[in-house]
């Protein structure tokens, strides 16, 4: 089993890539992929701390990660539906070109 700091470094790398994708790209699909990378980094942290915790035989860490995966799946469904609706209305997935959404 790998040490905890290796899991945390991998999680940091995944979260950083996701954050960079969200902050630099204006494409709606790339933004959704960046958010998914950040959620997967959080799941990796949940599992790593569960495995290296005082009671790795307990199922709380796995249940928390499964709940987070379920939330991520719901987020993808809603986010993809929004991107498709925006594309049908404005014929673009570039979030900067959609002027009517600004309040």
Q: Is residue 95 part of a domain?
A: no
Q: Is residue 9 part of a domain?
A: yes
CA distance 100 to 55: 52
pLDDT bracket for residue 20 (50, 70, 90): very high
Over residues 83-100, mean pLDDT? 86
Q: Is residue 39 part of a domain?
A: yes
Q: pLDDT tens digits for 38-89?
A: 999 999 998 999 889 888 788 887 888 899 899 999 999 999 999 999 899 8
Q: Do residues 45 and 11 touch, judged by C-beta distance below 8 A?
A: yes
Give the phi and the psi of residue 75 in degrees, each rounded to 5.
-65, -40
Q: Is residue 22 part of a domain?
A: yes
Q: The whole model's pTM is what?
A: 0.84
Residue 65 is predicted with a pLDDT of 86
Q: Is residue 16 part of a domain?
A: yes
The number of domains in the chain is 1
CATH number assigned to the domain comprising residue 61: 1.10.287.3510
Q: Is residue 103 part of a domain?
A: no
Residue 99 is predicted with a pLDDT of 73
Give the range of the structural domain holding residue 48, as residue numbers without chain letter. Answer: 4-90
């Amino acid at each position: 089993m790998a040490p905890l700091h290796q899991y945390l470094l991998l999680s940091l790398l995944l979260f950083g890539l996701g954050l960079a994708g969200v902050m630099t790209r204006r494409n709606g699909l790339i933004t959704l992929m960046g958010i998914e990378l950040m959620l997967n980094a959080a799941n990796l942290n949940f599992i790593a701390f569960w495995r290296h915790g005082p009671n790795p035989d307990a199922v709380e860490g796995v249940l928390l990660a499964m709940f987070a995966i379920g939330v991520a799946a719901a987020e993808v469904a809603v986010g993809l539906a929004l991107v498709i609706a925006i594309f049908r209305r404005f014929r673009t997935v570039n979030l900067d070109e959609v002027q009517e959404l600004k309040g």
